[in-house]
Structure 1
């Protein structure tokens, strides 16, 4: 990872995260965007980018598809589960199948290499403008998640209350709960949960996820045979079934 801020006397347009394993292309894009008064963090692998995203605050992410450690498709899926930040794919793969898959995973735009740096700047600026308007609209709405049975989740304060009691959750339990609850009905495999929460490739993370889900269920007084909130998809993973 390499990060550099813009000149303080220049107007700062936003924080960008870019993942590109080709140093030549990455330096050209990075230097161009910095001249456009963006701060740019450059990651060289998908996993490095995912860690940077989880630990930073970015306005837009530029994603290559063919990456070591974690490919761009998986990276895009993980980012979209966590955030609505604009995702701009920049790839040498021009076939429709790749584009359809990328957009299906939540990408906002797709630009094929080689591309014009001027066009890239215009697309980045357009998506940032649209996203900032969306954020402004969202700020006027309530972020509190409420479910039957006296269970509420506050993503802003990072608190969960069950039966009028504040739950004491570990950071991993909180991350698992928030991911599941903000995507109700979606089936997550144990590997997906592990990669998203632990920010590592899922070699054998199934048991780890199971232990944390068990602890989370205990704090919710959850009956595994008739769950109200977290349902087991046998032999695979979990889904959130709490009723709003």
Structure 2
């Protein structure tokens, strides 16, 4: 049976990773293994995957943080595999966007069944999403998330790569408030306290191109003392 879907496995236990990789590859999946949370995040950003398997206790970046970052970028299925079976970890994992939680030790056949189930749902989601890949908002803004294009009253907007990343992150998570530190860490991949100024400059430039006045914001609203959020209202 040919499957050919791509799975990212983020697991620091070399023996578990080897067993899972061998089993899934024999089942027809392409599997990439990352041994740290940071390596997993870099792999996710560089390649296209259909599903991610994430351990919680990872070096460099824990599994909760990795799940949260992935969910901000993508709707692909994320399955947590962990030896931590306490209810608090399970609930927290699902709250931050994971689709399932598999407790170690697990049967490989059960893991494959869960993977197949989530991939079927994701394929249905993608089919629907491809039919609705553009979102039009009141006051002339249109975003094509698939082609990564932005229009204002049908005129293409020339945004820098970081301006586009900033707009897409906010627009994909409407009414969710992000602090400047969170935006800088997520988009610039750095933990730099001086990044607040960088974010402010890019927000100002983006607002100028969108003709979005801060005092009467239509798209990007400042939440004083906290950060920014996207408030664009989709066309009915």
Residue pairs, 1:27-106, within 5 angstroms: 27-106=18-97
Question: What whole-Å deviation, never above 9, does each CA across 1:192-215 have from its counterpart, x for those lacking one?
Answer: 2223322x2433232222221111
Deviation of residue 217 (structure 1)? 1.1
Aligned residues: 233
Question: In the alignment, what sits opposite 1:148?
Answer: 138
Secondary structure in 2 aligned to 1:40? strand
2:116 is equivalent to residue 115 of structure 1: no
SS at match of 2:173: coil
Tell me the residue number matched to 2:119: 128
- Tell me by how many angstroms 1:108 deviates: 1.1
* Displacement of 1:229: 1.0
2:217 aligned to which of 227, 234, 237: 227
Q: CA RMSD in A?
A: 1.6
Deviation by residue 1:17-51 (Cα, 9 ceiling, x = unmatched): 01111212211211221121211111122122112
> CA offset at residue 65 of structure 1?
0.9
Deviation at 1:91, TM superposition (A): 0.5
1:95 shift after superposition:
0.2
Quick one: distance in 2 between partners of 1:124 and 1:67?
A: 21
Could you tell me which runs of 5 or more consecutive residues in structure 1 were left unpaired when the two chains were aligned. Answer: 1-9
| C-alpha deviation, 1:128, in angstroms | 1.3
Unaligned runs of 5+ in 2: none
Pair 1:161 & 2:164 matched: no
**In the alignment, which residue of structure 2 is the partner of 1:182?**
172
Partner of 1:215: 205
Q: Could you list the structure 1 runs, at least 4 aligned residues long, displaced by more than 3 angstroms after superposition.
A: none
Cα distance in structure 2, aligned partners of 1:31 and 1:207: 47
More helix as a share of residues: 2
Q: Specify whether residues 201 and 46 from structure 1 end up closer, same or farther in structure 2 by C-alpha distance, changes over 3 A only.
A: farther
TM-score, length basis structure 1: 0.89
> Secondary structure, in 3 states, of the residue corresponding to 2:16?
helix
Give the CA deviation at 1:112. Answer: 0.8
Q: Establish whether residue 12 from structure 1 lines up as the match of residue 3 from structure 2.
A: yes
Superposition deviation, residue 188 in structure 1? 1.2
Residue by residue, what CA displacement relative to the aligned partner does 1:131-163 show, whole Å, maximum 9, x if unpaired? 112222333x32211112111111122111124
- Give the Å deviation of 1:60: 0.6
Give 3-state SS (helix, strand or coil) of 2:215's partner. coil
